[in-house]
Amino acid sequence: MRLFVGNLPFSSTSDQLKELFESVGTVEAVDIIVDKMTNRSRGFGFVDMPDDAAKEAITKLNGAELDGRKIFVSEAKPMKRTER
């Protein structure tokens, strides 16, 4: 299951996020989204975990603090395509 993690501190690293989520279960992948122009974190990312661990992560880590900021954890929703 792919989890959306929001309100990340801009200084957060993939390793920090992985370590936090490993406290709940196996982490398959971590991806912090960065701005292509500035190469700076956009304050959110995604964590891939097996379904059972992901559900536990939502319960335990939603509202947890990371570097002084409360993070939001939820199941990631597929991105909607917009027509231009």
Does residue 63 belong to any structural domain of this protein?
Answer: yes
C-alpha 66/C-alpha 34 separation (Å) is: 18
CATH number at residue 62: 3.30.70.330
Residues of the chain with pLDDT under 70: 82-84
Based on the structure, what is the number of domains in the chain? 1
Does residue 83 belong to any structural domain of this protein?
Answer: no
pLDDT in tens, 43-59: 999 999 999 999 999 99
Does residue 84 belong to any structural domain of this protein?
Answer: no
Other CB atoms within a 10 A radius of the CB of residue 77 amount to 8
Q: 37-49 burial, b for 16+ CB within 10 Å, e for fewer?
A: eeeebebbbebbb
What pLDDT does residue 80 have? Answer: 76
Question: Looking at the whole model, is its pTM more than 0.85?
Answer: yes
Q: What angle do CA 38, 41, 47 make, to 5 degrees?
A: 145
- State which residues form the domain around 61: 2-75
Does residue 40 belong to any structural domain of this protein?
Answer: yes
Between helix 51-61 and helix 14-22 the angle, nearest 10°, is 100
What pLDDT does residue 83 have? Answer: 63
What pLDDT does residue 35 have? Answer: 93
